[in-house]
Structure 1
Amino acid sequence: MRFIKEHSDLPVPRVFAYEVDDKNLVGAAFILMELLPGSVAMDALGGYEVHRGVIPRKYRENFYRSVAKCHVQLTSLRLPKIGTIVRNCEGGYDCGPLPGIGGPFDTATAFFEAWADSVKFKWDKERIMNMMQRGPIPGEKMVEIIENFPSQLKAMASRLSTCNEGPFPLTHDDFLHSNIMVDEGSFDVTGIIDWEGACTVPCELVAFPDFLTAMPVSFDLPQKYDRHGQPLDEELQEVWRERGDYIEMVRSMEHADSLLSTCLSSKKIQAIAYSYGAYTSVGKLGFYDRVIKELDVLG
């Protein structure tokens, strides 16, 4: 948070003091930081009980535009390595290891290889088999798909990134409307909170805010799309339209470079980013094998 505050205009709380363990006068880990104005977007205007976790339509365009402005600034913060942000003894900032993976990493290739060697899927074989009892393919096949994905991704790690040696952009690990504060009158962003998962990542993991997440076609059931690859579901059609609008908002705010809009527009990058998150954080069952084939075709 201090790194972000010192290097951008992003609305993050100012940190006054902190201790990361209980070896201090108060006997507990703590953080003292600035109180930001507004409410988290998820809770604004009646919250989940009224809007079911969806941004009210009349505020959506302004909210998305305000988030896009923040997103551009966030992605413009870059460091030479992939990892967490740590303070060095000179008072500057370096990259440290990523929990469960290691590092820091000098290249995107090294990161993806280390991820493949260390990742554990959320569900075991028995749970996957139970979840697939009424699935579109046999449970054994889904287990095989899930077990093979890390090694398949590792095999193509050296071909995944178009910016293998960085510098690497900063990302918020949970960039959604429960961590974005807004003014309830306009839905302009007044703050972004919960930065504990922030880190620099390969460009291939730069993704949409979570409230605009959509599966790649290759990951999803084929029968949900027409012969042109367009979604049949009206709600998903709307998400696709909003994603396109968001990309245009990002483009209109980019100045130094177009990294964010390029990543969001790339079918390949978004397939990698979605599959990585689905496998690592969610434990989502899906056609990871078809994603691998798509990545192979896209080069």
Structure 2
Amino acid sequence: MLLSNTINPATLNWKARTYDPDASMDKAMRQTDWPALCQLATNLRGVSCVPLDYATNGLNNMARLLQFKDGVLWVARVAMRRSAADTAKLRSEVDAMLWIRQQSSLPVPEIFAYEVDVDEHNAVGVPFVLMSFVPGNTAMDVGGGYETHHGIIPAAHRPRFYRAVAACHVQMTSLRLPKIGTIRRTPDGAFEAGPIPGIGGPFDTATAFFEAWADHAQFPRRPDEILDTMHGAPEAEQVLCAVDNFLSRFRTVAPRLVRRNQHSDRDRGPFPLCHPDFLHSNIIEGACTLPLELVRFPRFLDAMPRRFGRSDDYGADGKPHDEDERQRWCERREYVQMVAALEALERGPGVGAGRGDHTLSSCLADEHAQDLSYAMGAFEGGKMGVYDQLLDGLEERLPLRGEPL
């Protein structure tokens, strides 16, 4: 069936040509029993529906619109990958969406039905989620999409966009659980923290989480790869040594960072909902509760700590020479102010254990925590940098408290 006249492809900005190099989307389309899926949707609403010839995809999932006879649209999200890890990830994402929708007013789609396993109970034949259609696009897709703006938010749109993201960020951080972990729905319908893939858990304390992270973290580049990539740069040996020593030094610095404040116990929960990849194309995937030290800026406001890079990239005032980087530093300060103003408006009884406090703005303004969080992400991503220099700076500013992990 052709796309309904009630839908404008230009405003949706779904890709006319999909990026599907291994034909995963085509395979998922063929394996999905669309009549069975439409029958399920029809039974749920009491109105017949058909799949539209309009679909798009990401790396792991594809989405296709279903239209009911009365014009209502639902989205059928179909998994394109089927490993045990992919199944666990999909289940966690569904549980996170259910929890966020129940506990906040964030614009999360309503889930009507889902199956994460392919077994005798799944007539559709593939892992799927049936959910409401939320009009609009991700911020990455508006204005012509990545091909037009290459993922850079136009300067004229930034203030309004940042305020909208800050409002979501405040709500997200106000959602908390007693332990650190992924979001998991229990058989009785309650929500709790579950294990984090590749790390374990759930964890009762931030210290326990950091210890487990250090036990499992690995730098993804070999020493010879580091030297080859740096093409004999003078600091290559320093970077190699810094990478080699990072985890042992991390074990010493992390507990001191957690326990530095005698007047607040940041080692224990409740812990806020965080997003390790909080980008304008992604809000749900990977969401979990994390230590306060890992509450970070959205990815589009990422900035490298001064001590992580080359000293000659910065002026006597400590600010970067690069104009784009200086602008990002300025926008980060403005974002913290936006968050603080929004937090000040949150008064009285509300949804979420953290509603009305200043946790998010405090965490974002905490240079120590932001530096450590950046280093953890950079290490896992294989980013070359002077980790020892960054940790030296942290140790200089931290009190001599806490035991090594």
Normalised TM-score (structure 1) = 0.91
1:235 counterpart SS class: helix
1:32 counterpart SS class: strand
- 388, 392, 399: which is aligned to 1:293? 392
Distance across 2 between alignment mates of 1:291 and 1:234: 22
Q: CA deviation at 1:136?
A: 4.0
**Are positions 1:17 and 2:118 aligned together?**
no
Decide which moves more: 102-111 or 115-124: 115-124
Tell me the alpha carbon deviations over residues 94-143 of structure 1, each in whole angstroms, 9 at most, x when there is no partner: 111111111111110011111101111121222112112243413x4322
Q: Report what 2:185 is aligned to.
A: 87
Q: Report what 1:60 is aligned to.
A: 158
Distance across 2 between alignment mates of 1:127 and 1:207: 29
Tell me the alpha carbon deviations over residues 166-195 of structure 1, each in whole angstroms, 9 at most, x when there is no partner: 21111123211222xxxxxxxxxxxx4xx2
Gaps of 5+ in 1: 180-191
Tell me the alpha carbon deviations over residues 51-105 of structure 1, each in whole angstroms, 9 at most, x when there is no partner: 2221112211000000000000001111111100111122101111111111111
Distance across 2 between alignment mates of 1:159 and 1:15: 42
Decide whether the 8 Å contact of 2:239 with 2:387 is kept in 1: no
- 145, 154, 159: which is aligned to 2:242? 145
**One-letter amino acid of the structure 2 residue matched with residue 148 of structure 1:** N
**Are positions 1:237 and 2:340 aligned together?**
no
> Compared with structure 1, are the counterparts of its residues 130 and 34 closer, same or farther at alpha carbon in structure 2 (3 Å cutoff)?
same
Tell me the alpha carbon deviations over residues 271-290 of structure 1, each in whole angstroms, 9 at most, x when there is no partner: 0111111112x211111111
Decide whether the 8 Å contact of 2:214 with 2:251 is kept in 1: yes
Decide whether the 8 Å contact of 2:117 with 2:126 is kept in 1: yes
Distance across 2 between alignment mates of 1:136 and 1:73: 46
Q: CA deviation at 1:251?
A: 0.5
Distance across 1 between alignment mates of 2:326 and 2:234: 23
Q: Report what 2:274 is aligned to.
A: 171
Q: CA deviation at 1:165?
A: 0.5
Q: Report what 2:359 is aligned to.
A: 259
Q: CA deviation at 1:262?
A: 0.5
Decide whether the 8 Å contact of 2:100 with 2:106 is kept in 1: yes
Decide which moves more: 119-128 or 257-266: 119-128
Distance across 1 between alignment mates of 2:111 and 2:224: 45
Q: Report what 1:215 is aligned to.
A: 304
Q: Report what 2:135 is aligned to.
A: 37
**One-letter amino acid of the structure 1 residue matched with residue 246 of structure 2:** F
2:297 counterpart SS class: coil
**Are positions 1:125 and 2:223 aligned together?**
yes
Distance across 2 between alignment mates of 1:298 and 1:137: 25
**One-letter amino acid of the structure 1 residue matched with residue 306 of structure 2:** V
**One-letter amino acid of the structure 2 residue matched with residue 44 of structure 1:** V
Among the aligned pairs, what percent are the same residue?
A: 51
Distance across 2 between alignment mates of 1:46 and 1:164: 44
2:383 counterpart SS class: coil
**One-letter amino acid of the structure 1 residue matched with residue 244 of structure 2:** E
Aligned residues: 283
Q: Report what 1:77 is aligned to.
A: 175
> Compared with structure 1, are the counterparts of its residues 286 and 26 closer, same or farther at alpha carbon in structure 2 (3 Å cutoff)?
same
Decide whether the 8 Å contact of 1:107 with 1:166 is kept in 2: yes
* Greater Rg by CA: 2
**Are positions 1:269 and 2:369 aligned together?**
yes
Decide whether the 8 Å contact of 1:109 with 1:160 is kept in 2: no
Normalised TM-score (structure 2) = 0.68
**One-letter amino acid of the structure 2 residue matched with residue 209 of structure 1:** P
Distance across 1 between alignment mates of 2:258 and 2:340: 22
Distance across 1 between alignment mates of 2:389 and 2:188: 47
Gaps of 5+ in 2: 1-96, 260-265, 347-355, 399-405
Tell me the alpha carbon deviations over residues 244-299 of structure 1, each in whole angstroms, 9 at most, x when there is no partner: 1111100110031111111111110110111111112x211111111211121121
Decide whether the 8 Å contact of 1:83 with 1:201 is kept in 2: yes
Q: Report what 1:198 is aligned to.
A: 287
Aligned Cα root-mean-square deviation (Å): 1.4
- 288, 306, 317: which is aligned to 1:228? 317
Which has the bigger relative contact order, CA under 8 A and spacing at least 6?
A: 1
Distance across 2 between alignment mates of 1:239 and 1:157: 27
Q: Report what 2:233 is aligned to.
A: 135
Q: CA deviation at 1:48?
A: 2.4
**One-letter amino acid of the structure 1 residue matched with residue 156 of structure 2:** K
Decide whether the 8 Å contact of 2:114 with 2:130 is kept in 1: yes
**One-letter amino acid of the structure 1 residue matched with residue 316 of structure 2:** R
Distance across 1 between alignment mates of 2:336 and 2:214: 30
Decide whether the 8 Å contact of 1:107 with 1:165 is kept in 2: yes
